[in-house]
A = this chain, B = another copy of it.
């Protein structure tokens, strides 16, 4: 019973209603599942290397992958990247509208631009009409670190200033009839990011792309992003997200999926719950958890696995999982859907648990 009851857990706040756009075949907003993005850090001009990384990111669970397109040579590589990728490719463009036009022609499924730095209004119009013809949405928005000088003068580097700057970009495109938009408002400060997105969520119905910029190294950055993005998602805000970490972008995807699955917004593969070891623990739990994690790495189906170190919280928590192991001194209780199956010795624990995981998954429809 416990098992079923905890399944009816409350979720985050209801999702903010938004219009839906399509990035290739991937919908964003309008009730679609929150999508995960990352960005390659290869040299885009090296199509093969970039495609290899796009593949790794897709394999890890990215729904979209963004690539920087800094010059004409990158535009040329983009065609090969777009046609070779299983996931839609987003082109990241700055300063030069010809790169945006080239990216759309090359097959980019979405283009991120800053209309404010493309130069003349005519250039923005050209990009918008090419995007309209190709059915390619645009992402616009601001980073707190690069607000226009006139906004800094009038509103400051504040959430309100960020919203004004982003809305200025939105208005430029709306004036030429373009509304196939996603908006992003990013800052390295979590509270600023949160507040800017809350303000924007109340003003427009475009989908919102969430991110905390320059979040830092893996350990620091994943926590900072999880706080900021997790908070917004908990408030029902956010339609697609990118976690920014310095390092391997595959980690960005893993952290993003972790944030979504913490709220039950997405489940990718096994959820392993394990206790912090304490003075009550009489087995080498860290080793056991590590071994279990590695053994189920390839599993994509959702399954909740509990690995608990003692008799105080162990059986209760293991009861809530699909399969569980509650360890005592040198022995463990192997459990399935709340029922104790048998006692296992410490040396057989991992093998027995992994076998049980496989049996459980095989029995699912």
Q: Report A's interface with B, CB cutoff 8 A.
A: 1-2, 5-6, 8-12, 39-44, 50, 67-70, 74, 92, 94, 143-147, 152, 156-159, 187-192, 194-195, 213-220, 222-224, 226-228, 230-231, 234, 244-247, 249, 252, 254-255, 258-259, 262-264, 272-281, 285-286, 289-290, 293, 306, 308, 312-313, 316-320
Contacts and interface: CB of A to CB of B under 8 A. Distances in A.
Contacts of A317: 143-146, 188, 213-214
Contacts of A156: 1-2, 5
A278 B41 contact: yes
A328 to B, nearest CB: 13
Given A227-B259, A244-B276, A278-B41, A214 B313 contact: yes
A262 B228 contact: yes
A152 to B, nearest CB: 6
A87 B104 CA distance: 60
Given A213-B313, A231-B234, A244-B276, 9 more contacts: A94-B312, A143-B313, A145-B319, A157-B320, A194-B234, A214-B275, A226-B226, A227-B234, A227-B263
Copies in the complex: 2
Contacts of A5: 152, 156-158
Contact of A6 (B94, B189, B249, B274): B189
Contacts of A219: 218, 222, 254-255, 258
Contact of A191 (B10, B39, B94, B245): B10
A60 to B, nearest CB: 13
Contacts of A276: 39, 41, 214-215, 244-247, 249, 252
29 contacts: A2-B156, A5-B158, A6-B189, A9-B191, A10-B195, A39-B278, A41-B278, A41-B279, A50-B279, A69-B279, A143-B313, A144-B316, A145-B320, A188-B320, A190-B263, A214-B274, A214-B275, A214-B306, A217-B289, A217-B290, A219-B255, A219-B258, A222-B223, A223-B258, A223-B262, A226-B227, A227-B262, A231-B231, A252-B276
Contacts of A146: 312-313, 316-317
A2 B94 CA distance: 23
B40 A278 contact: yes
A276 B215 CA distance: 8
A263 B293 CA distance: 31
Contacts of A50: 279
Q: Is the interface of A mostly helix, strand, loop or mixed?
A: mixed
A277 B246 CA distance: 6
Contacts of A68: 278-280
A9 B9 CA distance: 34
Nearest to A50: B279
Nearest to A66: B278
A189 to B, nearest CB: 5
Contacts of A152: 1-2, 5
Contacts of A41: 276-279, 281
Nearest to A257: B223
A276 B317 CA distance: 37
